[in-house]
Amino acid sequence: MEMRARLIVEGFITGLHKSPYHGFSVEFAEHRPYNPGDELRHVDWKVYAKTDRYYVKQYEEETNLKHYVVLDTSPSMRYKHASKLSKLEYGAYLAGALHYMMIKQRDASGLIAFDESVHTLMPAKSNTGYVRNLLAKLEQLTNQDPAGNRTSAAAVLDEIAERISRRSMVVIITDLFENVAEHESLLNALRHLRYRGHEVLVFHILESETERKFKFPDVPTRFVDMETGEEMSLQPAQLKENYTAAMKAFSERFKLRCRERNIDFIELDTAESYSTALLAYLNKRNKLS
């Protein structure tokens, strides 16, 4: 997990420097500009000699912003079909890359994981050694057997809104496979996070070929709900048009409702690179600087 996180971030930064987006702040600063009131003994005079600017050495206990990565580990996240990675593996590697990037930028980073309830809560810290604890937990979550619990994202996000006291950036990684009747409750829970002063970024992860486009062989097929065990047999072609229309309508509605509350909603595909997600995070983070 540690190697993957580092390689994802380093590859992303290398690509970013060669792209039109090279202006983004992705340098992992060991210093920050001097502000009136800072103690002169913390000024780095070597940097001043090179740049003619005053910079203060930034220590590990200093942090710009608290972050929490909220990862959905419910059974539906273990779906992969033809992809190399399941949604949970893809989401965990993305979470690892975000943790690695956050702490390297001296931001505090914490991890929350859930299915029908919060089962993991690691507080946000900014010391560099802490990232290994976060990555180790992510590795454990991807390797352990599923508990068989259903998704209860709405209740969980309401709980998180109450438990995180200090203003933070909350990055949610989920497939949004919640009971249709709970979608309004889920939107209300996201609004609850905003009401509490948190910045919110939602990554909606799906295996796009089948879960968005419903591309299955046109033969009688048995579908099994990974969370309830409910089964349905059908000919995919009979359902494809209605399914894709319903999925598109859901995504557009959810995205619009999120935008109304200044919540970033990003659709991800388990077959694509992590650049879309990391660029979205970086754009959000830079707006708050």
Q: For the purposes of burial, counting CB atoms within 10 Å of the CB of 181, is it exposed (0-12), middle (13-18) or buried (19 or more)? A: exposed
**95 pLDDT more than 90:** yes
For residue 31, the model assigns a pLDDT of: 60
String of DSSP letters for 56-110: EEPPTT--S-EEEEEEE-SGGGG--TTSSS-HHHHHHHHHHHHHHHHHHTT-EEE
**Could you give the CA distance from residue 72 to residue 206 in angstroms, rounded to a whole number?**
12
**Could you give the CA distance from residue 173 to residue 3 in angstroms, rounded to a whole number?**
21
For residue 22, the model assigns a pLDDT of: 44
**Percent with pLDDT over 90 in the chain:** 57
**Could you give the CA distance from residue 55 to residue 33 in angstroms, rounded to a whole number?**
5
What tokens were used for 254? 């959810």
**174 pLDDT more than 60:** yes
Confidence of residue 180 (pLDDT cuts 50, 70, 90): low
What mean pLDDT comes out for the span 35-62? Answer: 69
**43 pLDDT more than 90:** no
**Percent with pLDDT over 70 in the chain:** 87
**18 pLDDT more than 70:** no
Note the residue count of the chain. Answer: 289
For residue 289, the model assigns a pLDDT of: 63
Are 170 and 70 spatial neighbours (Cβ–Cβ below 8 Å)?
Answer: yes
- In this structure, of 63-72, 92-101, 188-197, 263-272, the range with the lowest mean pLDDT score is 63-72
| pTM higher than the cut 0.95 | no
Write down all domains in the chain, each with its CATH number in brackets.
Answer: 66-287 (3.40.50.410)
Give 205-252 pLDDT, tens digit per residue. Answer: 999 999 999 999 999 999 998 888 889 999 999 999 999 999 999 999
**57 pLDDT more than 90:** no
What mean pLDDT comes out for the span 77-103? Answer: 94
**268 pLDDT more than 60:** yes
